[in-house]
């Protein structure tokens, strides 16, 4: 099925608003928001998700509220507005725990862990990664869980975009021959490979990161590498 253009989605939203179709408008807001987010029009996407969240605050279901907070947090995460992102992630997580939404919790905790990793908060990031691993291991492959994962596909898409961005930065650092500009995005990239089914590609990155940390004497990263390896080994 061909994806609708942003113009088509805007028309769909306008129609739902004219019909005063609350469920249709909520769906249209989300669809438009996700399309804008994929197109990296993050400010417009955030506006859509904010409107969707406002719609469900009073009368929405817990699931709608959780997804609304999570999607808004995700677009703020891609905008690097990490404080706002974490605020919404925590709101989503609180609801997800109440309704036992395991896929939702795993998605939120993944981005919270990556957020800590971005900020060089290695211990906090590793704690989140371990929690995600435990959730994935205890989750049962029921139809409900598969449907739940579908509600949060935007997490996976955001991480994939982050992978591409970091890969480009690593390539640029290599072209410039600047070790620090290689190491920083390279080390940020490693945990993302866990969450995008690239575990088999991690070992060469770890070896390169280890060599670069020794060259640059980055003690904090040197200390984090064996702990990250331990998490990866149990994944």
Residue 147, pLDDT score = 45
Q: Helix, strand, coil proportions of the chain in percent (round to 5)?
A: 85, 0, 15
Question: For the residues 65-83, what does the mean pLDDT come to?
Answer: 97
pLDDT-based confidence at residue 144 (cuts at 50, 70, 90): very low
DSSP 98-149: HTT-HHHHHHHHHHHHHHHHHTT-HHHHHHHHHHHHHHHHH----HHHHHHH
Coil, helix or strand at residue 198: coil
- What's the Cα-to-Cα distance from 68 to each of 48, 63, 64, 175, rounded to whole Å? 10, 8, 6, 41
- What's the pTM? 0.90
- Asked whether the beta carbons of 188 and 118 are under 8 A apart, the reply is yes
pLDDT, tens digit, 9 for 90 and up, residues 195-230: 999 999 999 999 999 999 999 999 999 999 999 999
CATH code: domain 101-233 is 1.25.40
Helix axis angle, 62-78 to 22-38, nearest 10°: 20
State yes or no: pLDDT of 92 exceeds 70: yes
Residue 148, pLDDT score = 56
State yes or no: pLDDT of 1 exceeds 50: no
- Asked whether the beta carbons of 31 and 9 are under 8 A apart, the reply is yes
First to last CA, the chain: 35
CA 38 to CA 32: how far, in whole Å? 10
CA 48 to CA 28: how far, in whole Å? 9
For residue 229, count other CB atoms closer than 10 A to its CB. 15
CA 21 to CA 61: how far, in whole Å? 16
Domain boundaries, the chain: 101-233
- Asked whether the beta carbons of 149 and 157 are under 8 A apart, the reply is no
State yes or no: pLDDT of 140 exceeds 70: no
């Amino acid at each position: 099925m061909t994806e609708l253009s942003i113009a088509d989605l805007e028309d769909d939203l306008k129609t739902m608003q004219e019909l005063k179709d609350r469920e249709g408008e909520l769906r249209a807001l989300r669809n438009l928001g996700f399309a804008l987010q994929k197109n990296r029009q993050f400010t417009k996407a955030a506006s859509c998700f904010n409107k969707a969240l406002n719609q469900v605050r009073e009368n929405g279901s817990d699931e709608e509220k959780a997804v609304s907070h999570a999607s808004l947090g995700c677009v703020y995460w891609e905008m690097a507005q990490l404080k706002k992102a974490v605020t919404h992630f925590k709101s989503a997580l609180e609801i997800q725990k109440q309704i036992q939404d395991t896929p939702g919790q795993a998605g939120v905790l993944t981005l919270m862990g990556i957020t800590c990793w971005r900020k060089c908060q290695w211990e906090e990031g590793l704690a989140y990664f371990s929690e995600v691993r435990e959730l994935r291991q205890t989750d049962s492959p029921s139809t409900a869980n598969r449907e739940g994962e579908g509600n949060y596909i935007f997490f996976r898409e955001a991480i994939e975009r982050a992978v591409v961005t970091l890969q480009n930065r690593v390539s640029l650092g290599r072209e410039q021959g600047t070790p620090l500009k290689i190491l920083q995005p390279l080390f940020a990239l490693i945990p993302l490979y866990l969450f995008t089914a690239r575990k088999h590609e991690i070992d060469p990155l770890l070896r390169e990161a280890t060599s670069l940390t020794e060259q640059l004497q980055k003690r904090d990263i040197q200390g984090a590498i064996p702990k990250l390896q331990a998490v990866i080994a149990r994944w």
